[in-house]
């Protein structure tokens, strides 16, 4: 009797029930879609449609910046670009790990034009210091790969006062891209910005709660939110800067076995042991995007396995959320202490 009375007292509002059902659907749809497409088997299946000639282009004389380049997808991207003759600037937080990665890439590719730039992508001040130093070289930047990422399970705040995942994935990516625009313009019309997102963004809409201030902090959900912001920012950049002849593209690598995934998502790594992509397979579309003629690419698009991919899953109710991007851009500019847009 007490149980029945308790059940009667619990009232679930239609809105709460609706949100619960939508969140459940997103998680389920993402899980099924991901298992079918994001694993190594998905890559091998999609690779049947790849064109070998797409990856045979040489890019000597092209300057490419890759953030988070000392391991995982960043390392595989830097190596892939170096193999094709590019001058590669590896932006890494750790000088020691960066030097080891640089030495490895040079010996594997025989390309001497690999350089290490030390920068902590969680710090706006460090990014400003790096971009100022780099700008003094006065070299055109043909490709900027925003790859550096963070997935901290617990709330950690940087010395500058920002939640760490957000600081690296969103604020760092935004600040780096904006401050590199003058050097990207020097390489126009060939310049492009490639931002490495994640399929996890399918599970969430765009939210203006950038630092997960409301509700109980969830590192995995925050990472997914950050990755959704990256996709929306790519659309916005493409629209805002179309006159500058810079291409903006986002992509996701699928589920790859990288040191970052092993550290941040150990249970996921164990559960999918033997089914995850290699770092090289994860980086394949990044390198492909760097090599393609821009006429073949769709401005502001989201790519996966060398093809344009949807930005929203069916019935997931995330499509309309991108209208919030303008207020997010204004917030980011304020946080990074960049001048307001005209």
CB 233 within 8 A of CB 325: yes
**Helix residue ranges, H only, 112-208:** 124-135, 164-166, 173-186
CB 239 within 8 A of CB 329: no
Candidates 75, 89, 202, 223; catalytic one: 223
Distance CA 89, CA 182 (A): 17
- The candidate with the shortest Cα–Cα distance to 228, out of 197, 195, 194, 193, is 197
C-alpha pair distances (Å), 108 with each of 62, 89, 289, 312, 313: 19, 16, 22, 39, 40
Active site (annotated) includes residue 223: yes
- Residue 74 burial (C-beta neighbours within 10 Å; 0-12, 13-18, 19+): buried
CB 90 within 8 A of CB 114: yes
DSSP, residue by residue, 277-314: BPHHHHHHHHHHHHHS-GGGS-TT-EEETTEE--SS-T
> For tokens 């630092």, what's the residue?
211
- The candidate with the shortest Cα–Cα distance to 73, out of 171, 165, 196, is 196
Q: Is the Cα torsion angle 189, 246, 287, 91 positive or negative in sign?
A: positive
Beta-ladder partners of 249: 194
Count of beta carbons in the 10 Å neighbourhood of residue 191 = 25
- Residue 182 burial (C-beta neighbours within 10 Å; 0-12, 13-18, 19+): middle
- Residue 152 burial (C-beta neighbours within 10 Å; 0-12, 13-18, 19+): middle
Residues forming the active site: 223
């Amino acid at each position: 009797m007490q149980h029945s009375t308790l059940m009667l007292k619990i009232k679930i509002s239609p809105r709460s029930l609706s949100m619960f059902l939508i969140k459940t659907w997103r998680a389920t749809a993402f899980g099924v879609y991901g298992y079918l497409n994001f694993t190594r088997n998905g890559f091998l299946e999609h690779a049947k449609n790849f064109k070998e000639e797409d990856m045979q282009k040489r890019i000597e004389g092209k300057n490419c910046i890759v953030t988070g380049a000392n391991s995982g997808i960043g390392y595989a991207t830097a190596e892939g670009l170096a193999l094709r003759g590019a001058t590669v600037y590896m932006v890494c937080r750790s000088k020691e790990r960066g030097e080891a990665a640089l030495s490895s890439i040079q010996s594997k590719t025989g390309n001497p034009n690999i350089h290490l730039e030390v920068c902590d992508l969680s710090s706006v001040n460090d990014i400003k210091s790096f971009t100022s130093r780099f700008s003094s070289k006065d070299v055109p930047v043909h490709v900027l790969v925003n790859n550096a990422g963070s997935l901290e399970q617990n709330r950690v705040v940087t010395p500058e006062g920002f939640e760490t995942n957000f600081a690296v994935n969103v604020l760092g990516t935004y600040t780096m891209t904006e401050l590199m625009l003058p050097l990207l313009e020097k390489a126009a019309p060939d310049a492009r910005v490639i931002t490495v997102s994640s399929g996890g963004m399918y599970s969430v809409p765009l939210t203006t709660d950038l630092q997960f201030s409301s509700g109980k902090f969830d590192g995995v959900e925050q990472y997914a939110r950050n990755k959704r912001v990256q996709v929306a920012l790519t659309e916005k950049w493409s629209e805002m800067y179309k006159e500058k002849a810079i291409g903006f593209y986002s992509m996701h690598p699928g589920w790859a076995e990288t040191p970052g995934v092993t550290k941040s998502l150990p249970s996921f790594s164990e559960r999918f042991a033997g089914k995850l992509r290699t770092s090289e397979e994860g980086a394949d579309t990044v390198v492909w995007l760097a090599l393609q003629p821009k006429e073949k690419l769709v401005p502001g698009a989201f790519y996966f396995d060398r093809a344009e991919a949807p930005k929203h899953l069916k019935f997931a109710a995330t499509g309309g959320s991108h209208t919030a991007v303008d207020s997010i851009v204004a917030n980011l500019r304020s946080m990074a202490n960049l001048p307001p847009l005209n």
